[in-house]
Structure 1
């Protein structure tokens, strides 16, 4: 009977196995160190330098402030406004830490326990137990977005994602070295997106969803906003209130679990329904829309250039007027006359400027309401009654051919005409198209309506709509307190305060009378009604008013 001899490890074999085991243990660590060194030196793609970490570039909305301290509107690419740590509700900070990074105050940018949980539960066991990114790493992703290059192979995709995560780890650790914990929380909340509607940063989110400020957010509101961070669209309280309700309660459970709130408080708030006060900021919402567009164009004016040799008197007059404004009005062309400390040009829509105006918020509201009421309830109905049944309406004292040419001129301003003309369609065929009824949205004083009408009839209808401008000025200082360029910017973008030009009429009389009395004329003095000729010594000519 043969007996099996036990395997005996010789010193040579033992050394060989030890080398293999240590190599298997050390190679991943060595590879990780090499990758981190390459990433730190920018060999695997862009990495922010120290100056960029200290001064990260973000798009900040510029704010227009009234003379009584109210926010009149914003200019923005992303609707983002920075706030300080003192302006954050404690509920908001607690909810963020409890939900996104519970060991935030105990690590230096990388949470090893969270990474181990992700490795075991998410990768090995294939269970969705959340991510392992710390707040610092999420901030790194917000400030320096990921490279969106996509590989076709799964190995390439995995390698690309691994490099991206390593970059975020590296940047997160460097952010922790450059900023305090409070500063990182502020930067994160100021840069995180709350949906695809240009709602960026906690200030915009608080104003949009609850019409409040970050320091006034309640526990319920803070939990809703923090809950949105996982998936801003899926947990949007306006779009998906049911999902938002359950996600908010998850945040509250996390706050209860880690001792930020008592169980009784958590249970009470969980019973509350989702309640929002939605106010999405846009360039076409709020008060003083015409003024805000006027202000933007005024500040972005370029230095006037002399017109050509064959220019007419109006072009020279415009050049003279604009040159005086460029030289004497600091606001005119401000963007092109002032520069940042580094010499670059300001951008009204991304540099977070604070523009303080003389507009009074309450007076602006009253002025807009007065214009709307007067036009809607009195002038427009009277005008409709006057023109009703007239074949040439809304025009007066002109021939039908002249009225037709006015309508044709308006046709040429439409996008419909531009598309048809660019496609080579003849003028007669374009007119046939404009006489065909189509579905459209039409302005009315009670709000837009959907109707069926030919484009030509819609143009004639819009010619019936009266327009108006309104400006209130402080006579002691000349400061403008209210500026109403029109009653509905969406449909009527022509501005009637600054852009509109009208004869002064009898408004000039008080100024002329004052000038005459300064020249010792008596109010009862008679003036001969005869032509007067003025001599222009500069141009060696004369001028006789008629």
Structure 2
């Protein structure tokens, strides 16, 4: 080839390469331009506080009882930041921070080389602090269902957005401002948003007061706050903290001597205290309110003008509730004192016994122990150990068999490995999906099985030892602090807390349907589950609805006498559709064979009287319809497939599961002349500018004729008349107790003209119950709260409650005799008339 030809070829190659380069530059410019046209976050979303306002919750008199916020945040400026935090951050996350303009191309090249070329998983991150701040603006993309190419494009698209945002940040803010914005924005979990809240949450101090090792731990969490949480995974957190300290040494921030001493220090999070929305009055109510607000604001009619959803944690709403501040205060104090007494009796009955191992012949010990095992495995202590022992082997199994094993899976396989018979039993277990059974067999025959089985055995041995070894801890206690320090094994701690009886209490204003009181449990810090909207069997508190149906439909007088004898509903009788005979007994299993008025039948909770009335009604449907009118959806299907109010005559004895809110709302109908007003606890919602979003307009339904309803008022009054428990009560009141089988649940629902109050007391597990009926009945577990609370309401000059209010009797004649002396006179007269043989002479002028 001649020199001229070579020069020509060279020029063509140079042009080609320049063309490739130009095309690349144009492509990059076009790509970034197209990315920039997509929706990118504005800077206001980072620092404008109006975009992250807390929603306030107000009582009926405008007093604030709580807030909802996304960020438990106290913003700090760069000048206020601890030097230890700044040094740890820059040393670990971005040591060339002051030498780049938002993108560290040297770090990107390192990552690309090590990750792509050398195939190293742990090659270090290439994101700068500016990029990490930008990343907080983007929700992580959902890659589910996407192809490999689709996933790559989505990730690349997101990464380029972050780059552009990082460049915008660098142009608009100083380096110092970016650092403070990033640390203020980051979520350190456990409700700690921002470095200041994180320091207070984990160490109980201001971030400016952090020691070097404490600052290093918080910076370590920036990599992955969940994985390096000192609460859930302390070993991971300590290791990553030491990585941060090592980086600080490499950058010359600390010396070798300091590094050696600091990384030997244990994690000290003894001052950890999670700040949540529950602090303050009515924590259970506010947590349930948040659920309802999120559900309500998702509906189209309650959205923003632009069609987007309101966020109760960011949009600064004002929620005006119906709760009464003073009533709630009194209710919580009364509950505390009452439940402390109940718990004292409960522990006394179980002294020296273990509810989980005690065989009472009702619930199998195996069932109770399975429940205890579940509690152990849901604990943080167990989860930490499980991660340590099983994480690596489980990841290998997921990679090979594509099955994320749970504890019950491993239990099944370990049990099946004990013998060929057990293995065949697992293979043929039709209650387990065939595909899952097949995977079990593959795992048990695979290369990881022996390793998994050994790791599982080691885990169980460790758990047995750890959970049986006493350690210093705080536990719940009925004292001024609500907790106490003690030496107790983790297993005993679980049992101790589980043995505490819980309660659900609601107070509803009958004439408005407004919820004035809501107590969902004994202590939200230790027991988060709300019991106001928990389904529990209602027992004899349901009986007034049977009586009300019979009185309304049959016009039967409460003075009517019923024999306390066995009653049987047979197959084919009425519209019950029974297959077998149903012949219930009284609660004590006996019959007196005496006559009782319906007044007495309800007061003494005679099952025979309720069954007699159910036979009289001859159908469950009228009762179910009455409950519908009183706010209970009888046709709602339960988890077991039956209706909420079953079509069975056993409902006459309370064989239905309802919530305290439902029961109290239904009883409030009695206190409001038979008119049911839908219980509600939100009056209105306003946005940050005062614009009305929602206004409550509760539904009203006439559930019961006013005359029949007043008869029920008299019957409920009769249940409390003359009882020593009500000797100090001035309010016009009535109510009914309820006790379920084996005294698992204790109820009392009482009414006054101004307030209907429902109270449930029981254990979280069915076997957490009193051993004696004397202590386990509703009159002992639940009713004392009602009487004590009413006494406090009547004595408090600042609460909006009148003890002088009285139930109003309809002006018209009731049409049903409620004066038993008069009823007996008329009955005797009618009997005399019937006893005369007036048909002896057909022409007699009688």
- TM interval, shorter chain, is 0.5 to 0.7
Distance 2:633 2:258 in 1: 57
Q: 1:91 to 1:403 in 2, by over 3 A?
A: farther
Give the counterpart of 2:23 among 21, 27, 39: 27
Distance 1:290 1:151 in 2: 40
Distance 1:13 1:441 in 2: 97
Does structure 1 residue 466 correspond to structure 2 residue 788? Answer: no
Does structure 1 residue 243 correspond to structure 2 residue 255? Answer: no
* Preserved CA contact (<8 Å) 1:438 1:452: no
Shift of 1:236: 1.0
Q: 1:368 to 1:188 in 2, by over 3 A?
A: farther
Distance 1:88 1:374 in 2: 46
Shift of 1:248: 0.7
Give the counterpart of 1:401 among 592, 598, 602: 602
Q: In the alignment, what sits opposite 1:18? A: 14
Distance 1:182 1:354 in 2: 35
Shift of 1:281: 2.9
Q: What aligned pairs does 1:85-234 form with structure 2 within 5 A after superposition? A: 85=77, 86-127=79-120, 128-148=122-142, 152-195=146-189, 197-234=190-227
Q: 1:222 to 1:438 in 2, by over 3 A?
A: farther
Q: What aligned pairs does 1:139-538 form with structure 2 within 5 A after superposition? A: 139-148=133-142, 152-195=146-189, 197-276=190-269, 277-283=271-277, 285-289=278-282, 293=286, 349-351=313-315, 374-375=337-338, 399-401=600-602, 419-420=637-638, 423-424=642-643, 425-426=646-647, 428=649, 431-432=654-655, 450-452=765-767, 460=778, 462-464=781-783, 466=785, 501-503=801-803
Q: In the alignment, what sits opposite 2:471? A: none
Q: In the alignment, what sits opposite 2:41? A: 48
Q: 1:429 to 1:348 in 2, by over 3 A?
A: same
Distance 2:255 2:745 in 1: 56
Distance 2:218 2:261 in 1: 18
Q: TM-score, normalised by structure 2?
A: 0.39
Shift of 1:15: 1.9
Runs (5+) with no aligned partner, structure 1? 65-71, 301-343, 356-365, 386-390, 479-496, 506-546
RMSD: 5.4
Runs (5+) with no aligned partner, structure 2? 58-63, 294-307, 320-328, 349-585, 589-598, 611-622, 658-739, 748-758, 806-846
* Preserved CA contact (<8 Å) 1:58 1:143: no
Shift of 1:27: 3.3
Superimposed CA distance per residue, residues 8-47 of structure 1 (whole angstroms, 9 cap, x where no aligned partner)? 953322222222333344433332222112222x1xx322
Distance 2:154 2:225 in 1: 25
Task: Look up the SS of the partner of 1:426 in the other structure.
Answer: coil
Shift of 1:502: 4.7
Q: TM-score, normalised by structure 1?
A: 0.58
Aligned pair count reads 403
Task: Look up the SS of the partner of 1:10 in the other structure.
Answer: helix
Distance 1:87 1:441 in 2: 55
* Higher relative contact order structure (alpha carbons within 8 Å, sequence separation ≥ 6): 1
* Preserved CA contact (<8 Å) 1:143 1:191: no
Q: 1:353 to 1:107 in 2, by over 3 A?
A: farther
Q: 1:47 to 1:384 in 2, by over 3 A?
A: closer
Distance 1:349 1:34 in 2: 38
Q: In the alignment, what sits opposite 2:400? A: none
* Preserved CA contact (<8 Å) 1:60 1:79: no
Superimposed CA distance per residue, residues 459-480 of structure 1 (whole angstroms, 9 cap, x where no aligned partner)? 9375245266789xxx9xx9xx
Shift of 1:51: 5.7
Q: 1:438 to 1:216 in 2, by over 3 A?
A: farther
* Preserved CA contact (<8 Å) 1:61 1:81: no
Q: 1:168 to 1:375 in 2, by over 3 A?
A: same
Q: In the alignment, what sits opposite 1:361? A: none
Task: Look up the SS of the partner of 2:279 in the other structure.
Answer: coil
